[in-house]
Amino acid sequence: MEKTRVLLADDHNLVRAGLRLLLESEGDIEVVGEAADGFEAVAKAKELSPDVVLMDITMPKLNGLEAARQIQKRKLAVAILFVTMHQSQEYFLQALRAGASGYIPKCALGAEMLAAVRVVRAGQTYVHPSVAKSLVSAYLEQPPCGEVKDPYESLTDRERETLQLIAAGHTNQKAAELLHLSVNTIHNHRTSMMDKLGLHNRMELLKYAIRKGLISNEE
């Protein structure tokens, strides 16, 4: 029997260990790798070619939503199942836009997690009952045709990466090192990103990043 190959992406060791124990208790599922941040998740998705990535949303360096977008842009044949503590409509809708095949809270039962993995592996969409109502609400609250989109959608990948790193407290120099870019390039990305979002200082940027779920309050 061909096993479902799973990559675990979460910045907490205990969460990854718990998921690995649950998944590998099943004969048809194999955990092929782990990632502790979004950049690592993208790299390992490309390297290991898993069938499913179990992705947390709030991770350092690059959050799960951006990691999912980058995986989708690389056209990797992988289903992304978000496993997160966030159950709000805002996070759910962002996950859908990022290309999620499923969305399940960390408080879900083990049997529900296993079912979610098998559903997305089969090419279908899994939405946990606790967040399914957001799908209905989003449909009812769709903006009129032609309404201006969220300015965040206009940011480039690099601008989004810069936003998260700067909001998390990294200097331009450190962000440049992490992204393998020059300090001047980071400065340009930062300026462009803040102009597009209408932000004027680091505090406004920090509040925006927390509100959008790009970083946690702890960061």
| Residue of 18, 21, 34, 24 whose CA lies nearest to 4 | 24
Three-state DSSP state, 14: helix
- pTM here is 0.69
For 147-192, the pLDDT digits (tens) are 557 788 888 988 988 988 888 888 889 999 989 999 999 999 988 9
In order of their start, the domains of the chain are: 4-140 (3.40.50.2300), 151-211 (1.10.10.10)
DSSP 156: -
| pLDDT given at position 23 | 94
CA distance 159 to 168: 14
Residue stretches of the chain with pLDDT short of 70: 1, 87-88, 132-148, 216-219
Whole-number CA gyration radius for the chain: 18
Distance CA 57, CA 86 (A): 8
Map residue 40 onto helix, strand or coil: helix
| Helical H segments across the chain, by residue range | 13-23, 38-48, 64-73, 89-97, 110-121, 129-140, 157-167, 172-179, 183-197, 202-211
Give pLDDT, residue 219.
54
Reported as a single tens digit per residue, the pLDDT across 58-67 is 888 899 999 9
CA atoms of 71 and 80, how far apart (whole Å): 9
Cβ contact 179:161 at 8 Å? yes
d(CA 180, CA 168) in angstroms, rounded, equals 18
User: Where on the phi/psi map is residue 147: left (φ > 0), alpha (ψ -120 to 50), or beta?
Assistant: beta
**Dist. CA 110–CA 80, nearest whole Å:** 18
